[in-house]
Structure 1
Amino acid sequence: MSELPAMSAELVPEETELAALQRSHALLSNFSRCLPGMFYQFRRYPDARFCLPYASEAVETFFGVKAEQLREDASFMFAKIHPDDLPKMIVAVRKSFAELSPWHQEYRIIADGQPDRWVVGDATPERLPDGSVLWHGFLSDNTERKLTEQRLLAAERQRSLVMKASNQGLYDINLQTGEGSFSPEYLQMLGHDPRDFAHPQQFWDYFWGTGVHPDDVANLKHAYKAHAAAKGAADYHAEFRQKNKAGEWRWIMSLGSIVEWDSKGKPLRMVGTHIDITERKQTEEMLRQNQELLESNKNRYKELARELEILITNAPVGIMFVSDGVIVRANKALAELCRFPDAQAMIGVKTTFLYQGPEDYQAFSAQVTPGLLADELVELEWHLRRFNGESFTGRVAGRALPTESYVRGAVWMIEDVTEQRGTLDALRTSEQRLQRLMNSSLIGIIQGNEAGQILDVNDVFTQFSGYDRDYLLTQDSAWETLLSPQDLKICQQAYKDLIQTGTTAPFEIMLLQSGNTGVPILVGLSHLENSERGWVAFAMDISDRLRMNRLKTEFISVVSHELRTPLTSIRGSLSLLESGVSGVLPKQAEHLIRIAHNNSKRLITLVNDILDMDKLASGKMIFRSEALDLVALVQNALELHTSYASSLKVNLVLDHHPQQAWILADHDRLMQVMANLISNAAKFSREGETVLLRVFGKGPRYRVEVRDRGVGIAPEFQEHLFEPFTQADGTDTRQKGGTGLGLSITKAMLEKMHGQIGFTSTAGQGSTFWFEFDVYR
């Protein structure tokens, strides 16, 4: 192989339009090698000169001459056409030239020392700007088909002679009775012995019963009816399949004629012969398949050529074909990239304009030539120039073209990656800046994959863990070292929740350091950007926060217990005084005692609620799970709070419930929930109103509703209703009393028992609070 230049060499001044046209289509030679026949372009000039700008390698097989010899003058080719066929050829070419109509011709090519070759040519013309016409065509070898036709004609003549000189397969049928006779040769043709049928009628019963292929019976009858209707003007002729003794289907040709008619013109007798034409049918089928294959290949070639043209023309990257350093074909994207007015303007231009100078071109050539010589794909990035002198970074990919069609040729794809290169550089800078930010953060950051492997950590997390970065990134068992089995399960469950729902709540775990000491951390887990399975975790040391919470909890617990003892004594003393144990008190003193007694009860309620919140927060409140009849529990709660509701002049009514509703819950805690909901509903209802309680099934759950007809809850306050120390702002609400902890405690208790709570409310119309539990079966 001669040296292949990269993308340029000296431009041949004598480069002609014909040569450029030839090279622009040379890529099709790669397809022509795989398909039978010859692909060509035939050009006829107005002065009647003609040439073949392009011809595939098969031209040598057909005409005994190389394609290069016909590119300037194709007269030698016409000398190879059979003299009997040449006049029709010339007439057809002239007609196609004048009318620009498709050309089709069947003719013979003279071969030295060999039989003539039959060929079929098809071509489509197009008018060129100079007035010449260029045909794009395909020439296929038709010799075998012609020989087959000749053999068929010979066989047909032989058949006629056999019919005249032989009685093989003869039959004679009485059309009135259905009885008939046939020659022994007919049975032998089907592999039968005359002894297989004791009487001729047995054969005809077999013939019409199972002997003839069911798909051919209708054709046989139709052929007979047509012959009978013609009154002997045409012979009877039918072809059908008949089963031989071995069970194989043989093709039979039946020829015959009605030879006797009665006085009324009704057929009486018919004679004829049956001939085995299986081999002829097989030959015809093979010929048909070959013809279909040829047509399919021709159509496939045309489709491939069309698709290739569309691909090159509409490719988003620049594409050019280079031969001997000169561009012979280019697409629109390359013209725009290199600042040419259009792709046609690039044809014939040397590619040296793409380089910074001769030395740059030599360096590029030295780098790509080994790959081109090895017929390998060459890919690299190179600092290139546009035709107007602007510089850009190009991604270049190329491969050598066939040497029989191109001189040191190659096809190249060029893409401007200047912005991409700038983006990548900026991305690297950003990643370096991000790494510095990660390491300067006060929060530990861990990045990992689906398998749990740690891919990156920042310096803060290495300080939390007490292990260096290399250990954490290389040890498969790092998590087993860092976490207890229980905390490891918590992390795994959090990752499952993240994959299934797209989010997971922050969670607390204990990070085991290398010195066997533990650091409590709060972990937030999230998806890694642009990754469905990758994750990133943020870890915060919460040692100080836990210590403060513990001190706060201990303080609340101590203060609450210390307050409850004296408050209980004060409440008892005030209760005795209010009941008159010390005698009748003055009205002013009695009023003050009542106020003090009521406030002491509110203080005790507040202290009890604070203690309940503390127990719930610290996990010290114990919940028992037992089977409960929700209907009985609601009825019991209603009876216990009827007197309280009556004191507020409010009625309690259970107006709907099933016979039973079994759930799993803690009886005492659920009674406390009912107490909070019923007392709130009664407290915020108007005098004379009724609080409705309902129990009903809702799918696989039971629901309890407590509905009042009070003032309702303002929309802006509803989202904060279950928060601790929260009460609706308003004079009427404040007068009702309460700690603002009841609903928060209720919600926490229900969730601890695996229940749910919610509400609906309309200002001025009242509120409905509900809670649900799964049905216990």
Structure 2
Amino acid sequence: MCTEHHDAEAMFQSIVDNSPFGVWVVDQDGLVVFSNRSAEALLLHRWTKTTGAQIAELLPALSVSNGGLTITDLKIGDFENIISLPSDDDARYGEVNLSQFKDAEGRPFTIVNVNEITSRVKSWYALRDQEERWNLALEGSQIGVFESDLRTGAGRASDAWYQLLGICDANGKDSDREWRERIHPDDREEVEALDAECIAGRVERSEAKFRMRVGDNDWRWMRSILRVTERDEQGDPVRVLGTMIDTTPLETALALAEARRAGLEVLVSNAPVAMAVMSLDGTFLLLNDPCYSLFGYAAGQLERKNLWQLSGQKTLENLKAEVEALFNGDSSISRVEEKYVRPNGEVIDIAIRISIYRPERVSDSRLIVQMVDITETKRLEALKNDFVATVSHELRTPLASVHGALRLLAGVIGEGAPEQVDKLLGMASRNSERLTQVVNDLLDFQKLTAGHFSVEITQVDAVDIVQQTVVDNEPFANKFSVSVLVDAPEHPVIIHADAQRLKQVLTNLLSNAAKFSDCGTTVDVKAGIDEEAFLISVTNRGRGISPEFGKRLFEPFSQQAEHLTRDREGTGLGLAISKELVENMGGAIGYSSQINVQTTFWVRLPLALPTGASARPRPSGSIEAPSSPTSSSPERNGTTY
């Protein structure tokens, strides 16, 4: 009998030792009194001897409480009693089972049985992550998914499907019942007929559009697609799966687009200028009678033709690239001027304004095109430019002669001339100078508009130019009882510029500052290095520049309101010419103004750096371009002229 008992114990010991599960026997104090080989393997053999160790040291998720063991469960999904196992890299998980027994002497022990289920837990995590991604995708795309069991007539659906119907809590709800109760009565028969065709196998899928009641009284358009996903052994359908989306915005947009199309047809037909609607490839879809007159075709001959290929000419072919750039860019409007050759050989200039209508579907995008024949306008503009150039050139020589003759006459008469004669000679001389300046401005403007404006860039001393220009303009400033204060570096600063043109720009800024300064005030000229550029600013105190006028300040012939400028002479070309000159020298020009306080114009020009050199560090006396109007008085520590 003893032998049989010993054999049974040996067999039991062998079973436990070779069990695939980790087994520990723990006393009431939490000390391990036995462990098998699988238990040591679960611990990655980190303990040479586990007998006598605290179980909490081996498995921290286990602890002793009231003479027994408790488990700190990780609470993963539907798993129970899951703990973390020791690992070198990836997480490992074990399922714990506790059972108690007493030995022959009545001492309590706990058997800790651990089964590693890492692969099962990781599979659960992967499945959960996949479901979360699908749910997020469905919720983000507002696509509701539903499934119907044709044997029971019951249905279930995703949260997104219920949300489309305004249902927040879907617990216990049957999606099939909700669908039948909420579909519009006028749409139900047609949808069920389409679904029946799919269920019977006559069509691969059912696509339907219908109205559903959302909330109490809000009817919204839905679109569903349904397929049979499971059939029984006899081939009868068992399960169907479908999706549903809210298409109300699309239906509303389509209705609005149809209304707009009808209105557009009326608008285009009655427009006084040539107007057309085209597809993105340039094909005419709708055009009015002035289009035929403009392009030289008989009525009805342009439908479905392509704008870029009219009459076999390629004169409008670059419009295709313009439309592509317009469609891919941020702007929705493009204005271009093109030449067009009519079928009879006549060449005309056309001003074309293109805008893009962008619906939800890119394929439905349309070009709205307005066109005007500007051939006569171009001809008149060319005549005007020729006239200005001719008159300016014809006036320059006589004016120079008149001015010279006046100076000679004043010299001959001398200081003994009667006061009246001296006054008349002075007035004639001043007006001849003014006319000369007007002619020079007109000539510069004519070169600007003709694209013949040029500058000769060399390395010049910017400080010297500033100082010279201020001295040259001293008499003009004195006429308005204005003094000029200069704050500039004492050392030369070499820049890339045209010296003569830069003087012209500064002369214009100084003369404007003097003319529009309050009597007895000072014009401040500051010059210095600002980062990698030379910055010049001219500040005067006076009436300032209104925001409205500031928008067109640098446009030709721009002058502020008449009641403000009648007392100040000028052509309104100076700033436009200055802007063109500065930009041709690679610089920038701008201003800031505070009404009835002060106005600052600034010019920034590039420094001339040695080959391979970087910009010099900003010295302590450098200045910055004004970023906003200021009422504070600038520091005056320069020279007054």
TM-score normalised according to structure 2 size = 0.58
Matches for 1:382-393 after TM superposition, within 5 Å: none
The question of whether the paired residues in 2 share the 8 Å contact of 1:652 and 1:691 is answered with: yes
| 1:375-408 Cα shifts (integer Å, max 9, x gaps) | 843113479999x9x9998745434475669987
Q: Do structure 1's residue 746 and structure 2's residue 573 form an aligned pair?
A: no
Q: Structure 1: how far apart are the matches of 2:550 and 2:264? A: 42
Amino acid at match of 2:434: R
Q: Structure 1: how far apart are the matches of 2:14 and 2:221? A: 82
The structure that has the greater radius of gyration is: 1
Amino acid at match of 1:554: D
Q: Do structure 1's residue 519 and structure 2's residue 348 form an aligned pair?
A: yes
Amino acid at match of 1:428: E
| Structure 1 residue 520 displacement after superposition | 2.3
Q: Do structure 1's residue 668 and structure 2's residue 500 form an aligned pair?
A: yes
Tell me which residue corresponds to 1:266. Answer: none
| Structure 1 residue 532 displacement after superposition | 12
Q: Structure 2: how far apart are the matches of 1:161 and 1:743? A: 104
Q: Structure 1: how far apart are the matches of 2:164 and 2:542? A: 78
| Structure 1 residue 685 displacement after superposition | 4.4
Amino acid at match of 1:705: S
Tell me which residue corresponds to 2:315. Answer: 482
Tell me which residue corresponds to 2:261. Answer: 431
1:686–1:647 Cα change, 3 Å: same
The question of whether the paired residues in 2 share the 8 Å contact of 1:482 and 1:513 is answered with: no
Tell me which residue corresponds to 2:200. Answer: 373
Unmatched tracts of structure 2, length 5 or more: 1-6, 17-39, 55-112, 610-641
| 1:527-583 Cα shifts (integer Å, max 9, x gaps) | 653689989465443212212212222333344445545544544444444445399
Amino acid at match of 2:582: L
1:576–1:332 Cα change, 3 Å: closer
Q: Structure 2: how far apart are the matches of 1:516 and 1:344? A: 74
Tell me which residue corresponds to 1:762. Answer: 594
The question of whether the paired residues in 1 share the 8 Å contact of 2:147 and 2:239 is answered with: no
Tell me which residue corresponds to 1:509. Answer: 338
| 1:673-695 Cα shifts (integer Å, max 9, x gaps) | 12212233344446665443332
Matches for 1:396-435 after TM superposition, within 5 Å: 397-400=225-228, 402=230, 424-435=254-265
Unmatched tracts of structure 1, length 5 or more: 1-153, 164-211, 227-283
Q: Structure 2: how far apart are the matches of 1:479 and 1:700? A: 53
The question of whether the paired residues in 1 share the 8 Å contact of 2:164 and 2:246 is answered with: no
Q: Structure 1: how far apart are the matches of 2:179 and 2:553? A: 80
1:664–1:495 Cα change, 3 Å: farther
The question of whether the paired residues in 2 share the 8 Å contact of 1:691 and 1:708 is answered with: yes
Tell me which residue corresponds to 2:487. Answer: 655
The question of whether the paired residues in 2 share the 8 Å contact of 1:702 and 1:772 is answered with: yes
Q: Do structure 1's residue 529 and structure 2's residue 354 form an aligned pair?
A: no
The question of whether the paired residues in 2 share the 8 Å contact of 1:356 and 1:384 is answered with: no
Q: Structure 1: how far apart are the matches of 2:44 and 2:247? A: 69
Q: Percent identity among equivalent residues?
A: 25
Q: Structure 2: how far apart are the matches of 1:755 and 1:299? A: 61
CA RMSD across the alignment: 5.8
Q: Structure 2: how far apart are the matches of 1:745 and 1:298? A: 72
Amino acid at match of 2:350: I
Matches for 1:290-305 after TM superposition, within 5 Å: 293=120
Report how many aligned residue pairs link the two structures. Answer: 493
Tell me which residue corresponds to 1:629. Answer: 461
TM-score normalised according to structure 1 size = 0.49
Larger RCO: Structure 1 or Structure 2 (Cα < 8 Å, ≥ 6 residues apart)? 1
Q: Structure 2: how far apart are the matches of 1:381 and 1:683? A: 74
Q: Structure 2: how far apart are the matches of 1:435 and 1:155? A: 100
| Structure 1 residue 632 displacement after superposition | 3.1
The question of whether the paired residues in 2 share the 8 Å contact of 1:754 and 1:773 is answered with: yes
1:161–1:709 Cα change, 3 Å: closer
Matches for 1:551-566 after TM superposition, within 5 Å: 551-566=383-398
Q: Structure 1: how far apart are the matches of 2:475 and 2:179? A: 105
Q: 1:591 aligns with which of 423, 434, 440?
A: 423
The question of whether the paired residues in 2 share the 8 Å contact of 1:444 and 1:540 is answered with: no
| 1:323-365 Cα shifts (integer Å, max 9, x gaps) | 589777799789999xxxx9679869999x98779xx96x877
1:730–1:327 Cα change, 3 Å: closer
1:396–1:737 Cα change, 3 Å: closer
The question of whether the paired residues in 2 share the 8 Å contact of 1:327 and 1:350 is answered with: no
Secondary structure of the residue aligned to 2:473 is helix
| Structure 1 residue 496 displacement after superposition | 5.5
Q: 1:223 aligns with which of 38, 48, 51?
A: 51
The question of whether the paired residues in 2 share the 8 Å contact of 1:394 and 1:416 is answered with: yes
Q: Which protein is richer in helix relative to its size?
A: 1
Q: Structure 2: how far apart are the matches of 1:333 and 1:664? A: 67
| 1:19-46 Cα shifts (integer Å, max 9, x gaps) | xxxxxxxxxxxxxxxxxxxxxxxxxxxx
Amino acid at match of 1:508: E
Amino acid at match of 2:605: F
Secondary structure of the residue aligned to 1:509 is strand
Amino acid at match of 1:510: K
| 1:128-161 Cα shifts (integer Å, max 9, x gaps) | xxxxxxxxxxxxxxxxxxxxxxxxxx99844858
Q: Structure 1: how far apart are the matches of 2:474 and 2:508? A: 14
Tell me which residue corresponds to 1:616. Answer: 448
| Structure 1 residue 617 displacement after superposition | 1.7
Deviates more, 1:427-436 or 1:439-448: 439-448
The question of whether the paired residues in 1 share the 8 Å contact of 2:155 and 2:175 is answered with: no
Q: Structure 2: how far apart are the matches of 1:687 and 1:426? A: 63
Deviates more, 1:214-223 or 1:593-602: 214-223
The question of whether the paired residues in 2 share the 8 Å contact of 1:355 and 1:384 is answered with: no
Secondary structure of the residue aligned to 2:306 is helix
| 1:186-241 Cα shifts (integer Å, max 9, x gaps) | xxxxxxxxxxxxxxxxxxxxxxxxxx999867622453789xxxxxxxxxxxxxxx
Secondary structure of the residue aligned to 2:446 is helix
